């Protein structure tokens, strides 16, 4: 028979895992972590006998998933605070990261930001490029020789 505490532990793990798929800014992850700690604390206070295998599996899995979730939340929040590259980038130079073909867009890095890019001529990855036109989030580039 599964106990209430075991249900809370399972739900806490599910909440932490859901943070990867439903971005809540850490709310699911922190709620899951607090629920997990509270459930284990309650189990210790009530001196409940938890199956040893259950403890050996849930604690390491929970620690790993929690740390991964918190790192993901940290990286996401840090990315949100990063100042967006706005303004006129026409004329700036960068590096082609993925090959660009006349009818197939590639990728370029300008000032540390990756952009979708196209060109009238083929450009190989690793080549230096210059932005000649910006169309929303796409850049038209030319190879710099």
* Spans of all domains in the chain: 4-81, 93-143
CA distance 66 to 12: 10
- Contact predicate 138/116, CB 8 Å: yes
Decide yes or no: CATH 2.40.50.140 for domain 93-143.
Answer: yes
CA 93 to chain centre: 28
Which spans in the chain are helix H? 4-21, 27-45, 52-81
Q: Is the pLDDT of residue 50 over 70?
A: yes
With a pLDDT cut of 90, the percent of the chain lying above it is: 37
**Strand pairing partners for 29?**
none
Prediction pTM value: 0.50
- Contact predicate 122/102, CB 8 Å: yes
- Contact predicate 72/23, CB 8 Å: no
pLDDT of residue 119: 95
Backbone angles phi, psi at 9, to 5 degrees: -65, -45
Q: Is the pLDDT of residue 86 over 90?
A: no
CA distance 131 to 134: 7
């Amino acid at each position: 028979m599964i106990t209430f505490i075991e249900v809370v532990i399972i739900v806490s793990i599910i909440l932490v895992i859901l943070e990867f798929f439903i971005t809540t800014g850490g709310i699911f992850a922190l709620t899951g972590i607090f629920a997990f700690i509270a459930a284990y604390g309650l189990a210790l206070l009530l001196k409940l006998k938890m199956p040893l295998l259950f403890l050996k599996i849930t604690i390491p899995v929970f620690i790993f998933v929690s740390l991964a979730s918190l790192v993901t939340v940290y990286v996401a929040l840090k990315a949100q605070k990063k100042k967006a590259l706005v303004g006129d980038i026409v004329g700036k130079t960068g590096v082609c990261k993925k090959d660009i073909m006349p009818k197939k867009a590639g990728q370029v890095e300008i000032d540390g930001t990756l952009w979708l890019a196209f060109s009238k001529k083929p450009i190989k990855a690793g080549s230096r490029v210059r932005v000649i036109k910006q169309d929303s989030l796409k850049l038209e580039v030319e190879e710099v020789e």
